[in-house]
């Protein structure tokens, strides 16, 4: 019975020793085996590995490309214009031993990198004018920033894969002033457009009125000409008719005169009975049964 307990204790001890001796490095990790804090072994490949239990411990580091968002930084350009720059970086741990010795862990590394990146941004962008920072030449400035950060990050066993500016804005006070200036400029342009439009409207209206006057005058002229031609044709016809039968023509003209003079039934004429106007009335004979 006592031997069984001893055997069980040995099995448990052996199992615990084996458990604390084996560790697995995943594909996304790299590992450093430490003995009382001193690095003893660097493991870069994934797989099953062993360590001395209770004496050695393992620190795992990510070997993937990691993202780093830096806090927004105010940059003063060379023309003394202020700009709020929000950047981000992508980095990778390429030397785990140097990384562990210099910064210890990823949290400290991120803090150190953020400081280096913001410092480099102020240094590079501070030598350029605001117009340059907002133009396509900004990519050249980002390359300079990345090179500078990489030189310092090498001391930590880190490689900077990329540095980008997510956003570059003017400070709120400057943005408000620029917005008001742009608004005033747009209002001025709108007034100019309205004034030009009103001027064009007056020009078009006056031109149209002039054309209408000319068209009406031309139509009136043609109308008078046609009326004169009609009157002439009428007179010619009357003259021809008068030449063929003067007595009938005289009678016809007298009938027209009667019609115009006596229209309405309330016209009063005071004329001599033997007036030329009534000569055709004197020839009227009473109707016989």
Under 8 Å CB-to-CB from 70, ≥6 apart: which residues?
86, 87, 88, 89, 114, 117, 118
Q: For residues 82 and 118, state if they share a domain.
A: yes
Burial label for 160, CB within 10 Å (0-12, 13-18, 19+), is: buried
Residue 266 lies in a domain: yes
> Residue 7 belongs to what domain range?
2-62
- Picking from 115, 145, 170, the residue at the C-terminal end of a domain is 170
Q: For residues 134 and 162, state if they share a domain.
A: yes
* Residues in the chain, overall count: 289
Q: For residues 57 and 70, state if they share a domain.
A: no
- Picking from 62, 85, 104, the residue at the C-terminal end of a domain is 62
CA–CA distance, 108 with 91 (Å, rounded to integer): 14
Residue 153 pLDDT: 92
- Picking from 144, 170, 196, the residue at the C-terminal end of a domain is 170
Residue 192 lies in a domain: no
Which tops the pLDDT comparison, 245 or 76? 76
**pLDDT digit string, tens, across residues 12-70:** 767 767 777 888 999 999 999 999 888 889 999 998 888 888 888 999 999 999 999 88
Q: For residues 57 and 86, state if they share a domain.
A: no
What does the DSSP 8-state code read for residue 128?
Answer: S
Rg (CA), the chain: 56
Residue 251 lies in a domain: yes
Q: For residues 9 and 23, state if they share a domain.
A: yes
Task: State the CATH number of the domain containing residue 103.
Answer: 3.30.479.30
Nearest residue to 163 via CA among 179, 150, 178, 180: 150
Nearest residue to 262 via CA among 249, 274, 239, 278: 278
16: left (phi over 0), alpha (psi -120 to 50) or beta: alpha
Q: For residues 29 and 112, state if they share a domain.
A: no
- Residues of the chain with pLDDT > 90: what percent? 21
Residue 85 pLDDT: 82
Per-residue pLDDT band for 113 (boundaries 50, 70, 90) equals very high
CA–CA distance, 183 with 286 (Å, rounded to integer): 100
**pLDDT digit string, tens, across residues 68-96:** 988 888 887 777 777 788 888 999 999 99
CB of 149 closer than 8 Å to CB of 164:
no
Q: For residues 24 and 77, state if they share a domain.
A: no
- Residues of the chain with pLDDT > 70: what percent? 76
pTM, two decimals, is: 0.54
Q: Which of 63-72, 141-150, 202-211, 242-251 has the weakest average pLDDT?
A: 242-251
CB of 52 closer than 8 Å to CB of 103:
no
Average pLDDT over all residues of the chain: 80
- Say yes or no to pLDDT of 213 above 60: yes
Nearest residue to 59 via CA among 38, 35, 32, 41: 32
Neighbours of 63 (CB within 10 A): 19
Neighbours of 211 (CB within 10 A): 10
Sequence-ordered alpha helix ranges (H) in the chain? 2-21, 96-102, 106-125, 130-133, 138-153, 172-244, 246-261
What does the DSSP 8-state code read for residue 156?
Answer: G
Scanning the structure block, which residue is given the tokens 């009063």?
268
Residue 216 pLDDT: 86
Residue 203 lies in a domain: no
Residue 132 pLDDT: 67
Q: For residues 126 and 162, state if they share a domain.
A: yes
Per-residue pLDDT band for 110 (boundaries 50, 70, 90) equals very high
What is the total count of domains within the chain? 3
Per-residue pLDDT averaged across 106-125, rounded? Answer: 89
Residue 74 pLDDT: 81
- Half-sphere exposure of 37 toward its Cβ, with a 13 Å CA cutoff? 1
């Amino acid at each position: 019975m006592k031997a069984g307990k001893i055997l069980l204790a040995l099995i448990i001890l052996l199992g615990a020793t084996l458990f604390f001796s084996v560790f697995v490095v995943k594909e996304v990790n790299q590992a450093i085996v430490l003995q009382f804090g001193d690095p003893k072994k660097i493991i870069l490949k994934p797989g099953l590995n062993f360590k001395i239990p209770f004496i050695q411990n393992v620190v795992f580091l990510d070997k993937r490309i990691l993202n780093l968002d830096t806090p927004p930084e105010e940059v003063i350009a060379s023309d003394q214009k202020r700009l709020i720059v929000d950047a981000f970086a992508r980095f990778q741990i390429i030397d785990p031993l140097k990384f562990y010795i210099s910064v210890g862990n990823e949290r400290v590394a991120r803090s150190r990198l953020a400081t280096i990146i913001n410092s480099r941004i102020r240094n590079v962008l501070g030598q350029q004018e605001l117009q340059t920072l907002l133009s396509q030449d900004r990519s050249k400035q980002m390359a300079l920033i990345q090179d500078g950060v990489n030189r310092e990050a090498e001391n930590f066993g880190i490689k900077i894969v990329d540095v980008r500016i997510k956003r570059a804005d003017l400070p709120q006070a400057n943005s408000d002033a620029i917005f008001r200036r742009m608004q005033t400029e747009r209002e001025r342009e709108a007034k100019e457009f309205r004034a030009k439009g009103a001027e064009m409207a007056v020009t078009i209206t006056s031109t149209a009125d002039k054309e209408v006057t000319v068209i009406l005058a031309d139509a009136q002229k043609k109308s008078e000409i046609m009326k004169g031609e009609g009157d002439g044709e009428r007179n010619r016809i009357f003259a021809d008719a008068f030449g063929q039968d003067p007595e009938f023509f005289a009678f016809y003209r007298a009938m027209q005169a009667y019609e115009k003079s006596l229209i309405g039934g309330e016209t009063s004429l005071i004329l001599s009975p033997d007036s030329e106007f009534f000569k055709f009335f004197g020839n009227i004979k009473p109707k016989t049964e």
